[in-house]
Chain A
């Protein structure tokens, strides 16, 4: 039972990874790409790890998967923040359809 549940969660996670990477291709500028890709890939990889945890149970594999979930959930948004800030500081403009850029106005 837990085997099938774990595999279903792994498939869902891989699907969200695919959506994130499609977003990396389709969205127009670097900030939107970063936003969509980071969200989807974080949840996707965390779901894969959760599937591994469910199918492995309380074992060395499962505990390492639990550690990896916490680790990815902390580091992926931090890396996204650092990249977006670096991109803005290096002068990469927003997409031309953007509404407002308060960060540029108040720098």
Chain B
């Protein structure tokens, strides 16, 4: 059953990759990157269930944090500001 969930997540990740490749505006690509970051958190949780090890969830938390910071930085860049204002 977990393998079925993993395959669903893989299809979702490929849809995100399609949007990253084809998005007409930069904002579309950034949205897809943001969504892909959250999907990776889900992947890490499923790996934690399959292998029965807790450290994958540490990776998930750190990945979620870095993905959030990266998205806000990209949003600031999109807004046309420097990073320190």
Residues on A lying within 8 angstroms of B by beta carbon are 7, 10-11, 13-15, 17-18, 20-22, 24-25, 30, 33-34, 37-38, 41-42, 44-45, 48-49, 51-52, 55-56, 59-61, 64-65, 67-68, 71-72, 75-76, 78-80, 82-83, 85-87, 89-90, 92
Known A78-B68, A83-B71, A90-B80; judge A67-B61 contact (CB<8 A): yes
9 closest A-B pairs by CB: A86-B78, A86-B75, A87-B27, A64-B57, A82-B75, A21-B12, A14-B5, A21-B15, A14-B8
Main SS class of interface, B: helix
Q: Which residues of A contact B18 (CB under 8 A)?
A: 25
Whether B64 lies near A10 (C-beta < 8 A) is no
Q: Which residues of B contact A82 (CB under 8 A)?
A: 71-72, 75-76
A73, chain B: closest CB distance, angstroms? 11
Q: Which of B8-33 contact A (CB under 8 A)?
A: 8-9, 11-13, 15-16, 18-19, 25-28, 30-32
Q: Which residues of A contact B75 (CB under 8 A)?
A: 79, 82-83, 85-86
B49, chain A: closest CB distance, angstroms? 6
Q: Which residues of A contact B48 (CB under 8 A)?
A: 52, 61
Whether B57 lies near A65 (C-beta < 8 A) is yes
Q: Convert B44-85 into 0s and 1s, putting 1 for each residue whose CB lies closer than 8 angstroms to a CB of A.
A: 011011000010011011001100100110111111100000
